[in-house]
Structure 1
């Protein structure tokens, strides 16, 4: 287990979903979940194009059975940019939910942290009992886990973002 320092309060459960609300999920974290190691970012071209963003901030949930859809999945589709993984998304609003391994032996899912509900991410609507006022954003995306595909970083832009420089910067996937 890596360092779990400076990640703030940690949740037992989070919920999230797509922009239109057709797809909803819930993740239950085991007591020994490593918050630092399971927080990651990626700067690969596939993640950038898939999210229309400079990098993906994601959180790995393992085992995969800790993740479950809580709504009907009739609007769920999976895009396969490679043989390694699928990228689940909503066909109604286009929201990408994350990155799901498609290779046998990988028992986890990675959720795009931007799909986590505001209540859990930054405490919007928190009453202080269920969720702390500041939410769990720092636990979910803290920069202490791997930063993937840094060989694709954009000089003068993503190479100088503190979040992307806190931990191991992997040059390959």
Structure 2
């Protein structure tokens, strides 16, 4: 059975549906921190073909953040939506989903733990990789 999730930006211009997340992880790299405005971002990754942009705004605006990925955001309200990679992967931020309370949103791994500030380690200790 497919797992179908939906979400969107703060103003509702950008909406999406996504099915069957491939993985869930958190990341504390400097790019994720700047993109999300948070010390750690939580991502759900999907095959790009399994993500449909359904809102009147269509696909979100993109900012090329690295050699292999672009960050997605709403052009009207500025909400961070996720990252669209050159590989056929779309990673969506957990906070952009309408209902993100279930266990499927729990990260399976954490990238760039070394970039967390010391005060954050007290709240969220490093884990074995």
TM-score relative to the length of structure 2: 0.87
Write out the 4+ residue segments of structure 1 that deviate beyond 6 Å after TM superposition.
Answer: none
Structure that is richer in strand per residue: 2
**C-alpha deviation, 1:159, in angstroms:** 5.9
Q: Whose RCO is larger (CA < 8 A, sep 6+)?
A: 2
Shift of 1:39: 1.0
Q: CA deviation at 1:160?
A: 4.3
Structure 1 position 157, deviation (Å): 1.4
**CA distance in 2 between partners of 1:22 and 1:76 (Å):** 9
Q: Could you say which structure has the larger radius of gyration?
A: 1
Query: For 1:159 and 1:43, how far apart are their aligned partners in 2?
Result: 15
Aligned residue runs from structure 1 range 58-97, under 5 A: 58-61=43-46, 63-73=47-57, 76-97=60-81
Q: Aligned equivalents of 2:90 and 2:39: distance in 1?
A: 21
RMSD: 2.2
List alignment gaps of at least 5 residues for structure 2. none
Q: Which runs of 5+ in 1 are unaligned?
A: 1-9, 123-135, 169-173
Q: CA deviation at 1:74?
A: 5.5
CA distance in 2 between counterparts of 1:73 and 1:98 reads 15
Equivalent position of 1:148 in the other structure: 111
SS of the aligned residue for 2:80 comes to: coil
For residues 41 and 31 of structure 2, what CA distance do their matches in structure 1 show? 10
Contact 2:12/2:55 (<8 A) preserved? no
Aligned in 2, Cα 1:108/1:74: closer, same or farther, shift over 3 Å?
closer
1:26 maps to which residue?
17
- TM-score, scaled relative to structure 1: 0.67
Which residue is 2:93 aligned to? 112
